[in-house]
Amino acid sequence: MDVSLLERIVSILTVDKASPLQTKSAHTVSFPTAHFEKYKKENNPHDPDNRSFVYFMVGTAAVGYASIAKNMVVGLLTTMAPSADVLAVSTVEVDLSGISEGTSVTVKWRGRPLFIRHRPQADSARVVKPEWLVMVGVCTHLGCVPIGGSGDFGGWFCPCHGSHYDTSGRIRKGPAPLNLVVPPYKFIDDLRILVGSQD
């Protein structure tokens, strides 16, 4: 062992009894590292700063973190997707063959009444086929259920606050701000519809 190193260690550990406050702490003394030089790895002459290894490690970590983040997002979105029982009640199939012209029926869809009327006249803006009208049977004012075949226009009348709808479900009189809502639906064949889906 180097003699100067031993002298340094002895001087650090020696305590002056006359003044105990003047002792040196070991962490304030710089430790000689010259004798570790033989163990250091030599620098790569093509990449002295070893950047390729650093880039590889950073890239690997980024791919790993991105994969973890993607799995977390997919897991979160999967928990918010509707379950099979919810999807099953989101559509209802209606057989139109038993509805004679000029009459209407009420069907339950998503917990709300659905009015289906077989009309002799057409209303191309609110229907898929001119002779059939399908609407959600909830007043657009405060959510009451209108009475069919009544009111000043022969369509629907909401007894809660006096909204009058015509035979096309359009608001004609009263406080309701909008026409009766037309839900998404499609014809499976000439006499069957599927409510809740347009594709």
Q: What is the pLDDT of residues 88-117, one digit of tens each?
A: 777 788 888 888 877 888 888 878 888 887
Its sign, for the CA torsion 107, 134, 98, 154, is positive
Least confident of 81-90, 168-177, 187-196: 81-90
Residue of 177, 191, 197, 5 whose CA lies nearest to 94: 191
- For the chain, where are the alpha helices, taking DSSP H only? 3-13, 51-80, 84-89
187: number of CA atoms within 13 Å, CB side? 12
Q: Provide DSSP, 3-52.
A: HHHHHHHHHHH---SS-GGGPPPGGGSPPP-GGGGGGSPPPPSS-TT-HH
Question: Of 49 and 26, which is predicted with more confidence?
Answer: 49
Q: Which amino acid is at 63?
A: V
Give the pLDDT score at 169.
84
- Cβ atoms of residues 113 and 138 within 8 Å: yes
Q: How many other CB atoms sit within 10 Å of the CB of residue 140?
A: 20
pLDDT band at 131 (very low <50, low <70, confident <90, very high): confident
Q: Rg of the Cα trace of the chain?
A: 41
Please give the residue that has the higher pLDDT: either 90 or 143. Answer: 143
Whether the per-residue pLDDT at 59 is higher than 90: the answer is yes
Confirm whether 35 is a catalytic residue. no
> Which tokens belong to 8?
């340094």
User: C-alpha 192: how far from its chain's center?
Assistant: 33
- The structural domains of the chain, ordered by start, are 88-195 (2.102.10.10)
Q: Which two tokens stand for residue 16?
A: 């002056």
Most confident of 56-60, 172-176, 189-193: 56-60
Residues 6+ apart with CB under 8 A from 173: 151, 152, 153, 162, 163, 164
The count of C-alpha atoms lying within 13 angstroms of the C-alpha of 82, restricted to the half-sphere facing its C-beta, is 7
Strands lying side by side in the sheet with 156-158: 147-148, 156-158, 163-165, 171-173
Per mean pLDDT, which range of 45-54, 57-66, 158-167 is the poorest?
Answer: 45-54
Residue 43: the pLDDT is 67
pLDDT of 68 over the 90 cut: yes
Predicted local distance difference test score (pLDDT) of residue 21: 52
Please, what is the average pLDDT of the chain? 80
Confidence of residue 67 (pLDDT cuts 50, 70, 90): very high
Among 46, 141, 161, 164, the active-site one is 161
